[in-house]
């Protein structure tokens, strides 16, 4: 039981990227891909807990949630949605370039993706700042005086609106954290690609980090309507 | 030393886990010892309420998160899953090592909490006590459980991918040993359930650190939501604990009855059924916490229903022994212990699923006795059986058989003496989590404490002779039990890449009728 994994002997027909415990590159690729998909399943369950909390409190405190939701700036949210969708497209292009072995274009698209990711985080920071200035951040200094659209007489409950913002910050914050991690992963990809680590035979990390990035995008596709949009018209 | 700490060999990582999990088992055991000592007399003479609360919380957190959940998958599963399916390693060896490091980080964090005073929330971290009143140590303890959760998630993910992608040629799903089926089902629960407790604990921490009051009643937050999210993981977690143990029992009973498992397909699929149904019964922990009668009825029904696949297993194991050539080696004695104790634990679970009875015994020692019959009588018995069974494979040495039998007997007697009185105590009304009790409960409590002492001997004794056997034990050979299964077709201990020649599987699981040689009675 000596530990000689690192020193495993590679036969000439054994590509250097093929780790010792796999038979073929195809098996290795399929294995990594299944692992990533399963990881994304755990991520769905992870965010699921918060979506569950959102759903229950929204049903319970509908009017206060609507009023609080209307106070968020939908324009910034829509802009960010567009930015993120474009970044998903550049990511998809990066994966395609990796498949075709276009190493320079791969790096270009990865850098574009990182750029759009950074823009998203910048806009998010601006939105957080606005909420901070408006005293809409949960805690001792929280106050909420906005009115519910079409119901000027309704006085939103301070606790329940604070609950909305608790969920808003928890969900968008967790999403932003995932984006930061994604940017780190892409920085790694850029460096690895620059060193010529990838080829048409081996580009698994690009594909898997691509999957991760699309997942983060999909989470936002749910967050945007739930937090920004669906309470706009009706009070 | 360095070659061990940086190893990516699943067999070595299993042994790393064995050391660290055994260490936490003893920490949890010390807590249990202190609890039982305090309960020897009706008055609070050893500790007072505050300390006692910390004791049972520490016992629960250590035993649930750091012992019961990882014990079988991370030790025996890690060692055996690749061997049993004919793979060179798990699919992601480096992630496997990372899981162990996550376990260690979480463990160190928890030890820090323990040394600096501990927490007193109970292992369930119920809000609003944990978010608004308990000491800030809750944050650290919650983070420890959170990190431990990721260790568990990555282990489960690794197993599922390995079982899908790394099987040897000819190892079809219908030829997979039931140990593998059990670990597959366990892994499903690990990857689907654990993220939910992870986010729940994160929300508790966010509430304490940043006032994001998602469970805060002052903002209209609902503590019941916490309980639902908590049990959505923590009930399936009991299946993370018991399913791998059931896998062990299938292997033991087949080997020591010299027969193919009766109803192989039913036993295999009942593991999957338990994993799926396990997600639909969580609210039976909350019958008295406030829920509609209709919801309670449905959860009660589903809880009865999940008894069916467990019963299928027990009946099929029994049927396997019928007309088998049963022999009574140590692992088989543990398997017998499992069958009896798990059956008692399971059936009392049905008492608790009954809405009327549950109200009478909620939060009493009846519940404590019930889950210890399943967790200790089930999981630990099966783990000890499996450890003895595969000890020759892991170490290349046999343990001393007569001592093994004696230890199994001591543990069985000690266990029953500890926990059977607790059924009676609970039924006549002794609540759990109190450090004092009325004098009329003393006789049963003294019996329980006496039993715990015997049980402790039953666990310490194997420690001694297993370590002894490493040096002085008889050399085991490749297959001392003449058992079926791929893991016995390689040397003991196996080489780094498990098999000298890549195996090709052309036989069914448990083909004991084709193995002519009868094992020697040791």
Distance from C-alpha of A103 to C-alpha of A190, rounded to nearest angstrom: 10
The one-character DSSP state at B64 is I
A140 close contact with B: CB closer than 8 A: yes
Q: Which residues have CB under 8 Å from B177's CB, separation 6+?
A: B84, B247, B250, B251, B485, B509, B510
The mean pLDDT of B134-148, rounded to a whole number, is 94
Q: Is residue B291 part of a domain?
A: yes
**How many domains is chain B built from?**
1
Yes or no, beta carbons of B202 and A174 under 8 Å apart: yes
pLDDT at A235 (0 to 100):
44
What pTM was estimated for this model as a whole? 0.94
Q: Is there a contact between A170 and B153 if contact means CB atoms under 8 Å apart?
A: no
Interchain proximity A159–B220, CB inside 8 Å:
yes
pLDDT above 90 (res B522): no
Helix/strand/coil (H/E/C) assignment for every residue in B196-249: HHHHHHHHHHHHHHHCCCCCCHHHCCCHHHHHHHHHHHHHHHHHHHHHHHHHHH
Residues facing residue B475 across a β-bridge: B397
Residue A169 contacts B, CB cutoff 8 Å:
yes
- Chain B partners within 8 Å of A2 (Cβ): 3, 496
Determine phi and psi for B397, rounding to 5 degrees: -125, 150
- Residue of chain A minimizing CA distance to B12: A1
pLDDT bucket at B299, cuts 50 / 70 / 90: very high
In a domain, B328, yes or no: yes
Amino acid B38: pLDDT: 96
**B23: CATH:** 1.20.210.10
Q: Largest Cα–Cα distance of chain A, in whole Å? A: 79
pLDDT for A234: 55
Q: Does A160 touch chain B (CB under 8 A)?
A: yes
A45 touches chain B (CB under 8 A): yes
Question: Per residue in B359-408, pLDDT tens?
Answer: 999 999 999 999 999 999 999 999 999 999 999 999 999 999 999 999 99
Supply the DSSP string of B237-292, one letter for each residue: HHHHHHHHHHHHHHHHHHHHHTSPPTTHHHHHHHHHHHHHHGGG-GGGGGTTTS--
Q: Does B203 touch chain A (CB under 8 A)?
A: yes
Cβ neighbours, 10 Å, residue A221 = 13
Within a domain: B350? yes
Are A21 and B494 an interchain contact pair (Cβ–Cβ within 8 Å)?
A: no
Q: Which residues 11-50 of B have a C-beta within 8 angstroms of A? A: 11-12
> Which of left, alpha, beta for B368 (phi over 0: left; psi -120 to 50: alpha)?
alpha
In a domain, B495, yes or no: no
Residue B412, in any domain of the structure = yes
Burial (0-12, 13-18, 19+ Cβ within 10 Å), A68: buried
Partner-chain contact B206 A170, CB within 8 Å: yes
Q: Does A31 touch chain B (CB under 8 A)?
A: yes
Residue A37 burial (10 A CB sphere; 0-12, 13-18, 19+): middle
Contact A56 B225 (CB under 8 A): yes
**Is ipTM beyond 0.95?**
no
- Tell me what pLDDT residue B290 has: 87
Please indicate whether, in this complex, the C-beta atoms of B211 and A138 are within 8 angstroms of each other.
yes
Tell whether A164 is within 8 A of chain B (Cβ).
no
Which ranges of B329-397 would DSSP assign to H, the alpha helix? 330-353, 355-361, 365-374, 381-395
pLDDT band at A15 (very low <50, low <70, confident <90, very high): confident
Kindly determine whether residue A138 and residue B212, on different chains, have CB atoms separated by under 8 Å.
Answer: yes
Instruction: Check residue A7 and give its pLDDT.
Output: 41
The predicted-structure confidence for B19-55, as pLDDT tens digits, reads as follows 999 999 999 999 999 999 999 999 999 999 999 999 9
CB pairs A-B closer than 8 Å? 137
Q: What rounded mean pLDDT belongs to chain B?
A: 95
Nearest of B352, B345, B348 to residue B376 by alpha carbon: B345
Residues 131-190 of B with CB under 8 A from A: 153, 157-158, 160-161, 164-166
**Is residue B135 assigned to a domain?**
yes
Alpha-carbon torsion (B88, B92, B94, B98), positive or negative: negative
Cβ–Cβ contact A62 with B under 8 A:
no
Q: Is residue B497 assigned to a domain?
A: no
Segment B179-221, tens digit of pLDDT: 999 999 999 999 999 999 999 999 999 999 998 889 989 888 9
Interface contact B487, partner A, CB < 8 A: no
Q: How far apart are CA B191 and CA B322, in angstroms?
A: 37
Expressed as residue numbers, the domain containing B92 is 2-489
Does B400 contact A at CB distance below 8 Å?
no
Structural domains of chain A ordered from first start: 21-229 (1.20.120.80)
User: Would you call A34 an interface residue with chain B, using a CB distance cutoff of 8 Å?
Assistant: yes
Non-local CB neighbours of B475 within 8 Å, separated by 6+ positions: B396, B397, B398
Distance CA B444, CA A91 (A): 67
- For residue B513, tell me if it sits in a domain: no
Mean pLDDT for B490-515 is 91
B505 pLDDT band, cuts 50/70/90, is very high
How far apart are the C-alpha atoms of B497 and B89, rounded to whole Å?
Answer: 7
DSSP B174: G
Cβ atoms within 10 Å, residue B265: 11
Q: Check if B221 contacts A (Cβ < 8 Å).
A: yes
Q: A47, A61, A138, A219: best mutation site toward chain B, by most B Cβ within 10 Å?
A: A138
Average pLDDT over residues B423-438: 96
- What local confidence, expressed as pLDDT, does residue A152 receive? 85
Measured in angstroms, the CA of B201 and the nearest CA of chain A are apart by 11
By the CB < 8 Å criterion, does A138 face chain B?
yes
A86: pLDDT strictly greater than 60: yes
Query: Of the candidates A1, A47, A167, which has its C-beta nearest B214's C-beta?
Result: A167
More confident call, B339 vs B135: B339
**Which of B300, B302, B313, B292 is closest to B224 using CA atoms?**
B292
């Amino acid at each position: 039981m000596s530990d000689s994994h690192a020193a495993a002997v590679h036969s000439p027909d054994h590509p250097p990227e093929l780790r010792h415990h796999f038979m073929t590159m195809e098996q290795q690729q399929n294995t990594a891909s299944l692992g990533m998909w399963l990881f994304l399943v755990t991520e769905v369950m992870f965010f699921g807990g918060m979506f569950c909390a959102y759903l229950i409190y929204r049903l319970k405190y509908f009017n206060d949630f609507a009023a609080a939701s209307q106070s968020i700036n939908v324009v910034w949210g829509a802009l960010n949605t567009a930015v993120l969708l474009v970044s998903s497209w550049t990511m998809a292009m990066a994966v395609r370039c990796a498949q075709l072995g276009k190493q320079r274009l791969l790096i270009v698209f990865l850098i574009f993706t990182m750029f759009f990711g950074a823009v998203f985080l910048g806009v998010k920071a601006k939105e957080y700042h606005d909420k901070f200035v408006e005293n809409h951040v949960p805690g001792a200094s929280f106050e909420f005086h906005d009115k519910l659209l079409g119901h000027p007489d309704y006085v939103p409950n301070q606790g329940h609106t604070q609950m909305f913002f608790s969920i808003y910050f928890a969900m968008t914050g967790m999403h932003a954290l995932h984006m930061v991690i994604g940017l780190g992963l892409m920085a790694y990809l850029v460096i690895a690609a620059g060193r010529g680590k990838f080829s048409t035979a081996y580009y698994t990390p690009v594909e898997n980090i691509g999957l991760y990035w699309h997942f983060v995008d999909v989470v936002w596709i749910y967050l945007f309507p739930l937090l920004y949009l669906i309470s706009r018209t009706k009070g | 030393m360095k070659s061990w700490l940086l190893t990516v060999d699943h067999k070595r990582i299993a042994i790393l886990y064995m050391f660290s999990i055994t260490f936490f088992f003893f920490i949890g055991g010390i807590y249990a010892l202190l609890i039982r000592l305090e309960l020897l007399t009706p008055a609070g003479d050893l500790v007072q309420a505050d300390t006692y609360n910390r004791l049972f919380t520490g016992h629960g957190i250590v035993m649930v998160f750091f012992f019961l959940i990882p014990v079988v998958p991370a030790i025996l599963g890690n060692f055996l899953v690749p061997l049993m399916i004919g793979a060179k390693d798990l699919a992601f060896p480096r992630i496997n090592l990372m899981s162990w490091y996550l376990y260690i980080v979480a463990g160190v964090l928890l030890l820090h909490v323990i040394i600096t005073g501990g927490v007193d929330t109970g292992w369930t971290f119920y809000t609003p006590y944990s978010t608004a009143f308990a000491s800030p140590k809750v944050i650290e303890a919650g983070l420890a459980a959170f990190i431990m959760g990721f260790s568990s998630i990555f282990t489960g993910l690794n197993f599922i991918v390995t079982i899908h992608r790394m099987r040897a040629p000819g190892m079809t799903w219908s030829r997979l040993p039931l140990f593998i089926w059990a670990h597959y089902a366990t892994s499903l629960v690990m990857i689907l359930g654990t993220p939910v407790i992870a986010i729940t604990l994160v929300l508790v921490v966010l509430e304490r650190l940043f006032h994001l009051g998602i469970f805060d009643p002052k903002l209209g937050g609902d503590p019941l939501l916490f309980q639902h999210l908590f049990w959505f993981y923590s009930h399936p977690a009991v299946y993370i604990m018991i399913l791998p143990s059931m896998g062990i029992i299938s292997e033991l009973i087949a080997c020591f009855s010299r027969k193919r498992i009766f109803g192989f397909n039913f036993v295999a699929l009942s593991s999957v059924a338990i994993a799926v149904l396990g997600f639909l019964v969580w609210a039976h922990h909350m019958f008295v916490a406030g829920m509609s009668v209709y919801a309670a009825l449905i959860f009660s029904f589903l809880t009865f229903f999940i008894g069916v696949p467990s019963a299928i297993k027990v009946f099929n194991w029994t049927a396997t022994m019928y007309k088998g050539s049963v022999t009574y080696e140590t692992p088989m004695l543990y398997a017998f212990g499992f069958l009896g104790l798990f059956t008692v634990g399971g059936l009392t679970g049905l008492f608790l699923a009954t809405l009327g009875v549950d109200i009478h015994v909620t939060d009493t020692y009846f519940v404590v006795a019930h889950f210890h019959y399943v967790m200790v009588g089930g999981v630990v018995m099966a783990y000890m059986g499996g450890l003895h069974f595969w000890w020759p494979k892991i170490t290349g040495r046999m343990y001393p058989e007569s001592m093994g039998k004696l230890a199994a007997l001591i543990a069985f007697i000690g266990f029953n003496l500890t926990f059977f009185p607790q059924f009676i105590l609970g039924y006549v009304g002794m609540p759990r989590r109190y450090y004092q009790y009325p004098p009329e409960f003393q006789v049963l409590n003294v019996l329980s404490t006496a039993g715990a002492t015997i049980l402790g001997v039953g666990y310490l004794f194997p420690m001694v002779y297993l370590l002894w056997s490493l040096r002085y034990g008889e050399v085991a050979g490749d297959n001392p039990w003449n058992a079926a299964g791929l893991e016995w077709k390689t040397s003991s201990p196996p080489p780094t890449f498990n098999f000298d020649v890549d195996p090709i599987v052309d036989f069914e699981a448990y083909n004991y009728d084709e193995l002519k040689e009868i094992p020697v009675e040791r």
